[in-house]
Amino acid sequence: MKVKIDVNDLEHGMFVSELDRPWTETPFLLQGVLIESGEDIAEFRRLCNHVYIDIERSRDVIAPKLQTLAAKVPTDDKPKSNDITLQVVEHEQETFRKELKVARKIHHRTRGYIDKLLDDVRLGNSLDTDTARELVGELADSISRSPNAMLWLTHMKKRDEYTSIHCMNVCILAITFGRTLGLDRQRLDLLGLGALLHDIGKMQVPLEILNKPGRLTDEEFDLVKSHSMNGYNLLRQKEDMPAEVLEIVRSHHERINGRGYPQGLSGDLIDQLTQITSIVDVYDAITSDRCYHDGISPHEALKNMFDWAGENFDAELVEQFIKCLGIYPIGSMVELNSGHIGIVVSASEKARLRPIILVVINRSGERYDVPRLLNLAHPQWSKKENLLEVKHIVSSHETDLDMHQIVSNEAVI
């Protein structure tokens, strides 16, 4: 909800979403500014008579006051838009912001569960899989409300915490992908559970081998490959564990050309849920920093997977996965034609080429103290004299940006 206020009533923590004049007539590059300083307030007072404040994107401390103001504003005095695509994109962004806070809590609980589960496997304790089912349900519910929120959180990666974070990411990516494929809720839950548990067998592989920075010997690689059967054997002791979940855990390293493991399955012998998990498992692995390699960009990863399709994965499924994540996947670092650098926060099906960007570096190469959102789908950035668009993808290793920190900071706004 947005409320119109006089610029003399501006306070810290308010999110200015619209002005009484075009943004292009102001020195603000970005549409949408969270007021963090007296300088911001002074600039708005110099330029405008009134502005519109987005209540949901303002700080919680100021929200009650804004709600009171909103109740007094006549309906016909609130901003309107005749652009259907813009309305859809703005609605999706508002949904993303609301869901992000919820998603962060679910993500945190899931991380805690996975850490404990992996410790239990390592110590030989009994495994709690009931909690896994509950968390998968919560993850699926969140993704159904706003898939972009959970996809944003998959970029909270740390090199030295790979296995637990990887299990969560594969689960989130699998559910998101399965949802776009039209899987019903029962199969989504089975897919999510299998994806969340797919690597638990790694905890029976010596850590010095899992974390070895150099090339593995044949014997060491055989130990690593044993993790899929390890996980399968652990979980099949649970009488209520569905066969589909067991198959995902056992067969997520099978490849359609028959060169995978542990059974050398090929083609249609690998079921759909397992193939989905295999695709997202590889995607997250190659975009993550590991002890033995640096991750690549989401864009480059999708390009590689397209090249590998047909041999390793079902080509049609890979194409559907690329469509699912979009031309500029969430978390992609991009440079705009203005020279600014930002991170893709949200991508709408209605505007795939014009995503919402969190701009973090200005055209002079300097970091913004407070990153700001730029909605490329807004009409003002499509005009010839004011055109803003993505110029190209930027590798995360071309900058010193800490993606984990940026994602974490935005997740608590």
pLDDT single digits (tens) 139-164 = 999 999 988 889 988 988 776 677 88
Distance, in Å, from the CA atom of 34 to the CA atom of 43, rounded to the nearest integer, reads 13
- Tens of pLDDT, residues 82-136: 444 555 555 566 677 788 889 999 999 999 999 999 999 999 999 999 999 999 9
CATH class, domain 86-325, is: mainly alpha
Q: For residue 75, name the pLDDT band (cuts at 50, 70, 90).
A: very low
**How do 50-54 and 33-34 pair as beta strands?**
unpaired
The whole-number pLDDT of residue 233 equals: 97
Determine the pLDDT at residue 351: 72
* pLDDT in the model for residue 76: 45
According to the model, what pLDDT value does residue 43 have?
A: 84
Query: What percent of the chain is modeled with pLDDT above 70?
Result: 88
- Better-scored residue on pLDDT, 337 or 29: 337
Rounded Cα distance between 406 and 96, Å, is 16
Q: Are 271 and 242 in contact (CB under 8 A)?
A: no
Q: What digits encode the pLDDT tens for the residues 297-309? A: 888 899 999 999 9
What pLDDT shows up at residue 130? 96
Q: Which of 140, 254, 246 shows the shortest CA–CA distance to 192?
A: 140
Q: Which residue has the higher pLDDT, 163 or 222?
A: 222
Q: Is the pLDDT of residue 370 over 70?
A: yes
| 183/191 Cα distance (integer angstroms) | 9
Instruction: Quickly list DSSP for 268-318.
Output: GGS-HHHHHHHHHHHHHHHTS-BTTB----HHHHHHHHHHHBTTTB-HHHH
Give the integer Cα–Cα distance in Å for 330 and 395: 14
Q: Which of 3-12, 110-119, 341-350 has the lowest mean pLDDT?
A: 341-350
pLDDT at 55: 84
pLDDT in tens, 249-270: 999 999 999 999 999 999 999 9
Helix axes 298-308, 272-286, angle to 10 degrees: 130
Looking at the chain, the domain(s) classified CATH 1.10.3210.10 span 86-325
pLDDT for 175 beyond 90? yes
pLDDT at residue number 89: 53
CA-CA distance, 238 to 129, in Å (whole number)?
Answer: 8
pLDDT at 96: 75
> What's the average model confidence in pLDDT over 228-243?
96
- Averaged confidence pLDDT in the chain: 86
pLDDT at 315: 94
Quote the pLDDT of residue 376: 84
pTM here is 0.77
The fraction of the chain above a pLDDT of 90, given in percent, is: 46
